[in-house]
Structure 1
């Protein structure tokens, strides 16, 4: 029974991963199927008294419970807080249940590779729609949608693909021959994903993606020569994008010319900071940010005896900041849980780094988890990075690496 469930949950998980950036309805069907299968498996383990609990399980549970409290005690109730909770719950459960799974080494490698390769087809379709037939106003992955959301997704994929390439690459053994065509293809794949960040014109994604690329190269590169060549390669691509005045560079120049480098994000953040006063402990409720109005802000500001100026605020629909989003929608409790999640994640990566660099199989999984962390919490300073597809992707990379280290990291 357990063996059949494990086979089925891997099957559903693989189909969900393939669907994640490409097709909406099948993705949701396979994701629900995977989560239900994993829950049944966990119930069987509990009945047989074989359940094991770790500090990461406690953190995931706290995340789920505090978000639930923010939903039932929402400062702006009866709006979209339950919808938002279900979106967050889906992502967190994906990472949590995956972190508790017990697969073979080959299974983890296979899942990682499916994640990276599954992004290529929707990316090429998105490029075709944007650059050739002009049916899209910007570069998007079909099921991910908005250009900034797609860019966040692609940053994670770029870092993971680069880690995959570097985990196998050695200058001493490299020769351009048939046996190395797969390695060459991996290098080209990484380049395509990096160039997609330029085409996508998300300045935050391009900047953080560049930093991530340099980090991966210097962490994963097997020799100083590879680290030097890799770093120079990324810097050259960036310089060419500046010299050629690509769209993302022109976007930055235009913003500077009109003295709006942050694209009104400072005014968006003013909305979040003021709204965080409405319900400071548990927040307004997940997905309720876009129900904040000028009247709400005016009442709050004037209630403190200050002068209200409507020009200081801007309403694009969400907070454009991962941390402020947590503060407004889940309150101080939610922000503290988010920060704990961020710190424990990077701590785990640092703690296992030396061990992970010992084999090419583990270093690529480590690279995927690092990429998800950097994209989520780096781009998170200027965008809302932890929801829908890119939250699920981040939790996939985290869950796979936690599950892998849970099984194969030597215990002291």
Structure 2
């Protein structure tokens, strides 16, 4: 039975990954199927006294538990806090259960490859809709949606694909007849150019940073590091010279003296609203229910002058950390920061081991890509919800599981 469950959960997980950026209903069906299968598997393991617990299990448990407390004790109750909790719960459980799974080395590589390649069809459709038939005002992945959300998703995929390419690249053995390697290089370039087309300034900046990091960490020779870094810088300068959309957007905002696109006013809303329920927050997904009257009452209650022009309501916090503070309180923010620090600690701690094989280093690249995107772009966007949260947890869970079972064997 255990063997059949392993096969079933791997099957459900693979189908969920394929569906994640493309189709909504199947994605949810396969995700729920995977979580149910893993729950049954964990129960059987517990009955057989085979459960092994690590500090990561404790962290995942603390994450879902404190978020649960923020939901049942929401500072703005009976709104969308349970909906928001279910979104966070599915992402965290995906990463948690995956981190506890044990697959073959080939299975881990297969999951990684599926994650990257499954992004191609919805990206091609998005480019067709945006550039050719003009049914979309910007570049979007079908099931991911909003331009910023799609850009966040693409940054992670770009970093992972670049790590995949560089893990195989050896200039001394390179041949033009190696079509697989050339295809991987073109794929990484395709994802990077898509970030430029997507016009998300934060995603483009994160893509540049991530590209340079992965090139200098993963590339096998100084020559590749030099060529790769120069190529990214060349693409950036070319986009500036050609005044691509992402550059025009930045210039326009500078001329309007609005470099942050009013995010400073959005953050003012978050900072003030965090006073309403400081310990456990207002409840997940309840940010957009904050009103000017509530802010005015809070500001004037402290003897301050309220200026309506200091605040802007786009629907969410546009900051991963402030979202945690407002919706899950000080407790939620501390958990988020702990999660961030332990994740990067694991990436750094396992780096030397990961560089010993091309299979390990590309999984390491996926985890790094998810971390940089989530916590880097997170300064100016809400980066940890829906599809891109699930994607980040997939990269984290796969690498945690892989290192959990194979690090000691190297």
So what's the TM-score if we normalise by structure 1?
0.99
Counterpart Cα distance in 2 of 1:264 and 1:254: 13
2:385 counterpart (381, 384, 387) = 387
For residue 172 of structure 1, give the secondary structure of its aligned residue in structure 2.
helix
Instruction: Deviation per CA, 1:252-286: give whole Å up to 9, x if none.
Output: 00000000000000000000000000000000000
Corresponding position of 1:327: 325
For residue 390 of structure 1, give the secondary structure of its aligned residue in structure 2.
helix
Deviation at residue 60 of structure 1 after TM alignment: 0.1
Corresponding position of 1:214: 212
Deviation at residue 148 of structure 1 after TM alignment: 0.2
Corresponding position of 2:294: 296
For residue 45 of structure 2, give the secondary structure of its aligned residue in structure 1.
helix
Corresponding position of 1:105: 105
Counterpart Cα distance in 2 of 1:128 and 1:321: 30
Corresponding position of 1:83: 83
Corresponding position of 2:5: 5
Equivalent positions of 1:158-237 (< 5 A) are 158-177=158-177, 180-237=178-235
Counterpart Cα distance in 1 of 2:395 and 2:23: 20
Corresponding position of 2:238: 240
Deviation at residue 410 of structure 1 after TM alignment: 1.7
Corresponding position of 1:402: 400
| Match status 1:127 vs 2:119 | no
Counterpart Cα distance in 2 of 1:153 and 1:65: 26
Counterpart Cα distance in 1 of 2:7 and 2:200: 39
| Match status 1:336 vs 2:338 | no
Q: Which runs of 5 or more residues in structure 2 are unaligned?
A: none
Instruction: Deviation per CA, 1:326-374: give whole Å up to 9, x if none.
Output: 0000000000000000000000000000000000000000000000000
Corresponding position of 1:137: 137
Counterpart Cα distance in 1 of 2:320 and 2:312: 17
Counterpart Cα distance in 2 of 1:207 and 1:50: 45
Deviation at residue 389 of structure 1 after TM alignment: 0.0
Deviation at residue 411 of structure 1 after TM alignment: 7.4
Corresponding position of 1:40: 40
Counterpart Cα distance in 2 of 1:407 and 1:203: 38
Corresponding position of 2:154: 154
For residue 349 of structure 1, give the secondary structure of its aligned residue in structure 2.
helix
Aligned length: 410
Counterpart Cα distance in 2 of 1:120 and 1:215: 23
So what's the TM-score if we normalise by structure 2?
1.00
For residue 184 of structure 1, give the secondary structure of its aligned residue in structure 2.
helix
Equivalent positions of 1:297-312 (< 5 A) are 297-312=295-310
